[in-house]
Amino acid sequence: MTTFLGMPAGGGNLTGEPFPKAAREALGNAQLRRNLAKATSTIRAKRANVVGELPDWAQLRAAGAAIKDEVLADLDEHLVRFEEALTSRGTRVHWARDAEEANRIVCDLVRATGTREVIKVKSMATVEIGVNEALAGIGVHAVETDLAELIVQLGDDRSSHILVPAIHRNRAEIREVFRRGMPGVDPGLTDDPRALAEAARKHLRQKFMTVDVAISGANFAVAETGSLVVVESEGNGRMCLTLPRTLISVVGIEKLVPSWRDLEVFLQLLPRSSTGERMNPYTSVWTGPTEGQTSHVVLVDNGRTATLADPDGRAALRCIRCSACLNSCPVYERTGGHAYGSTYPGPIGAVLSPQLTGVDRNPTLPFASSLCGVCYDVCPVAIDIPSMLVHLRERVVSAKRTTPESTAMRALAWAMSDARRWRRLLGLGRFGRVASRHVPLPGWSTARDLPEPPKETFRDWWGSR
């Protein structure tokens, strides 16, 4: 594949209903709001405790941002270096321009094995491109082995959180999902967490021992050695990566870090920001296939080089998918992840999804924020999401056709750019405000009462002193 700036826009599961409509429906679900409030407040408190333990957290954060910026500045060189390292260790590398091409590659590889079932490690990239749906199209069933992803799959649901896809479900709801969708489950299953975990363990172990093809993503990819890294909490990742004879890893091209030394920074930032732990329970690293295994890596663009081409928006590619911004966002806590319509919900989704697809296909997401700035404060790689949202809003507005409001705003900007013109306009302002109190303005006066204008402006008062 030839890689160049201006690659095709991203496709797959990155768009949905307009955010205002979907959010209005979500706000009517009181159970959803209770589930989200309990889960996000718990994770927030854990994160704050472990981050507060590190006196050099600010320096770590700055280092993470600097490493990611270095990768993005020389992404082409790092990718070639990564491919050479992988190939020298026996892994075949495939390049995909967009979701369609990535799915075609994965489907061809799976079809060649003759299997009718694959097991999967939790992977945002595969959800983004819709690999499960593509495999279903050729008659192959993908089994999610991450507990939360399994809940979503058995419930015929959609993920609503980057780290905890079933965060919108409580224990009682999960028990019902297992009773309805898990073959052979005990009808007397309770909602005790141990019982639910044991039921999932029994169900998945049989899959681990019998399915010969696995699909993974990667949290990080080390260009220096061609190593891939998956961090997870349940041990399912290690089973998927080592037992099957064929391993296919779908990796976004922004996942690279230059060296092992750089990886050390992110293995401190990620667990503290995501689950509020000092270190994650399982870190699996593989450099080439295990003995008797065939290994493939599919490097996916899907709108990433288009994002890289925007100097004001490319920092979104620093994201390490920790979800700290989701857990802190007042908008996300009330609407949940489904309202965003994309694989990537919350503040990072509001800036990443429109850039991957083009703002014309996601025009409402940049407005799904109060711009309070807490997402920037908690981001472990210092992505200035509020400034990026304002930048994207400007692009959305600029792309729209001329409206009475946009015409009025341009006229106002013209008047305010000159002191003399602005003084004349202020003189007319009182007449306009008095008139507007008696003339209905659709969209403005429906829910607003204009205040009684003062007898004189501040400028008039100041000039009379």
Residue 464 lies in a domain: no
In sequence order, what DSSP letters do the residues of 62-83 get, joined into one string?
HHHHHHHHHHHHTHHHHHHHHH
Q: Answer yes or no: is pLDDT of 444 > 80.
A: no
User: For the domain that residue 216 is a member of, what is the CATH number?
Assistant: 3.40.50.10420
Residue 243 lies in a domain: yes
DSSP-derived 3-state class of residue 378: helix
Run of H or E including 408: helix 404-416
Same-domain status, 63 and 188: yes
Q: For residues 246, 251, 257 and 261, what is the CA-based torsion angle, rounded to 10 degrees?
A: -30
Overall number of domains in the chain: 3
pLDDT bracket for residue 436 (50, 70, 90):
low
Same-domain status, 258 and 320: no
The DSSP 8-state label assigned to residue 259 in this structure reads: S
pLDDT at 5: 47
Same-domain status, 237 and 259: yes
Same-domain status, 267 and 355: no
Long-range contacts (CB closer than 8 Å, 24 or more residues apart) made by 28-35: 29/336, 31/170, 32/168, 32/336, 33/333, 33/334, 33/336, 35/167, 35/168, 35/169, 35/170
Same-domain status, 136 and 248: yes
Q: For residues 109, 228, 355 and 77, what is the CA-based torsion angle, rounded to 10 degrees?
A: -100
pLDDT at 23: 94
- The domain boundary, picked from 250, 275, 305, lies at 305
Residue 456 lies in a domain: no
pLDDT at 439: 63
Residue 445 lies in a domain: no
Q: Answer yes or no: is pLDDT of 437 > 70.
A: no
Same-domain status, 101 and 178: yes
404-416 helix and 419-436 helix, angle to the nearest 10 degrees: 140
Residue 127 lies in a domain: yes
DSSP-derived 3-state class of residue 222: strand
CA distances from 463 to 55, 422, 425, 427 (A): 53, 15, 16, 13
- The domain boundary, picked from 378, 399, 420, lies at 399
Same-domain status, 300 and 321: no
Read off the amino acid at residue 285. V
Residue 452 lies in a domain: no
Same-domain status, 25 and 62: no
Q: Can you read off the two tokens belonging to residue 248?
A: 């296919």
Residue 135 lies in a domain: yes
pTM value is: 0.86
Same-domain status, 106 and 241: yes
pLDDT at 3: 47
Domain that holds residue 54: 42-305
pLDDT bracket for residue 320 (50, 70, 90):
very high
Residue 149 lies in a domain: yes
- For 153-171, what is each residue's pLDDT tens digit? 999 999 999 999 998 899 9
- For 224-239, what is each residue's pLDDT tens digit? 999 999 999 999 999 9
Phi, psi values for residue 240, rounded to 5°:
-70, -35
Same-domain status, 279 and 143: yes
Give the neighbor-by-neighbor strand order of the sheet with 117-120. 92-96, 294-300, 246-252, 213-216, 117-120, 141-144
How many helices, marked H, and strands, marked E, lie in the chain? Answer: 21, 10
Same-domain status, 91 and 200: yes
Same-domain status, 223 and 340: no
- The domain boundary, picked from 281, 305, 329, lies at 305
